[in-house]
Amino acid sequence: MKSKIKLMTPKDVQEFVKIASAYDYDIDLKSGVVYIDAKSLLGVMTYGLKRELEVVCRSEEVGTFPGKIKKFAVA
């Protein structure tokens, strides 16, 4: 699963990391050649705030994750 998101506020970052942390599989955020662990609050807050990011899930079955992050989606 790959999709694009943008986290505009620290509250958005907290909410996104909380959602990502609820899943057992690896989830990364990619910006250019840089990958960030989507479950790392400090990493996402430092590098991902107010940037367009690509969400990369490392699992065949993503379950309900895409629906839960829909509010952060970039068209």
Q: Which residue has the tokens 């942390």?
A: 21
Q: Considering the domain boundaries, does residue 15 fall inside one?
A: yes
| Residues 6 and 71: beta-carbon distance below 8 Å | no
Cα(28)–Cα(23) distance, rounded to whole angstroms? Answer: 12
Q: Is residue 65 part of a domain?
A: no
Residues 14-58: tens digit of each pLDDT: 999 999 999 999 999 999 999 999 999 999 999 989 999 999 987
CA 61 and chain centroid, separation: 16
- How far is residue 2 from each of residues 10, 16, 29, measured CA to CA in Å? 23, 15, 10
Give the total number of structural domains in the chain: 1
N-terminal to C-terminal alpha carbon distance within the chain = 16
Which pLDDT belongs to residue 62? 79
- Entry pTM: 0.91
Query: What's 24's domain CATH number?
Result: 3.30.1340.10
